[in-house]
Amino acid sequence: MFRNLPPAVRWLLLANIGIFILQWLFPEPIMVEFALWPLHGAERYGLPEFRPWQLVSYAYLHGGLEHIFFNMFAVWMFGPELERLLGTRRFNVYYLVCVFGAGLTQMLVQEYFHTDVSGPTVGASGGVFGLLLLFGMAFPQRRLILIFPPIPMPAWLFVTLYGLAELLMGVFSVLPGIAHFAHLGGMLGGYLLIRYWRAAAARRH
């Protein structure tokens, strides 16, 4: 079954699992260098320094088995169909843009609103939320079922409700240990790239 996955999804799963093992073996140096730290966290809060590559590398680190399991489950569930839709090269570009958009959004929110400055941001959730957005736009009437409550709904509604929930939880600081604005930033990055691709295709015609 694993060998039947398209190459980009297979690479994402292998890379995240492999780096998670390295993170477990060498937690401190990997977190210091590759987690996403606040832009001025070193001066203001005594945290490790921000490095530009952290805007991408943070997405390959995770906060525990449950964290990586649900993120990789979403990549496995939604990624193959989206990679076949976009093609491998565009799928890779799209995922990285979502990851970058999520990291940049989280960093700007921390910088200007001083939220969640006690530690770093890690996890592939920004990329995953970008995949959810694309799935909802590409297959809006596909039926999805939440784990709780188990209510079937079209993909466009699922994505819309999920995005609104993340916005409200971010604004009202519900579950403050979760980077809600990073999730929204992943969706925003994906949406802007989709709009760019559509505009470029329209110009060619």
Q: Which two tokens stand for residue 114?
A: 């001083």
Nearest 5°: phi and psi at 154?
-65, 150
Under 8 Å CB-to-CB from 113, ≥6 apart: which residues? none
Whether the predicted pLDDT of 173 surpasses 70:
no
List the CATH number of the domain containing 175.
Answer: 1.20.1540.10
User: What average pLDDT does range 137-159 have in this prediction?
Assistant: 84
Kindly report, residue by residue over 7-61, the tens digit of the pLDDT.
999 999 999 999 999 999 999 999 999 999 999 888 888 999 999 999 999 999 9
Domain enclosing residue 145, as ranges: 2-204
Number of domains, the chain: 1
Q: Are 80 and 129 in contact (CB under 8 A)?
A: no
Q: Are 62 and 123 in contact (CB under 8 A)?
A: yes
Which one has a higher pLDDT value, 156 or 205?
156
pTM of the complete model: 0.92
Whether the predicted pLDDT of 202 surpasses 90:
no
- Per-residue pLDDT at 43: 87
DSSP per-residue letters across 76-132:
HHHHHHHHHHH-HHHHHHHHHHHHHHHHHHHHHHHHHH--S-SS-B--SHHHHHHHH
Under 8 Å CB-to-CB from 1, ≥6 apart: which residues? none
Q: Are 39 and 105 in contact (CB under 8 A)?
A: no
Kindly report, residue by residue over 109-142, the tens digit of the pLDDT.
988 877 667 789 999 999 999 999 999 999 999 9
User: Position of tokens 């093609």?
Assistant: 87
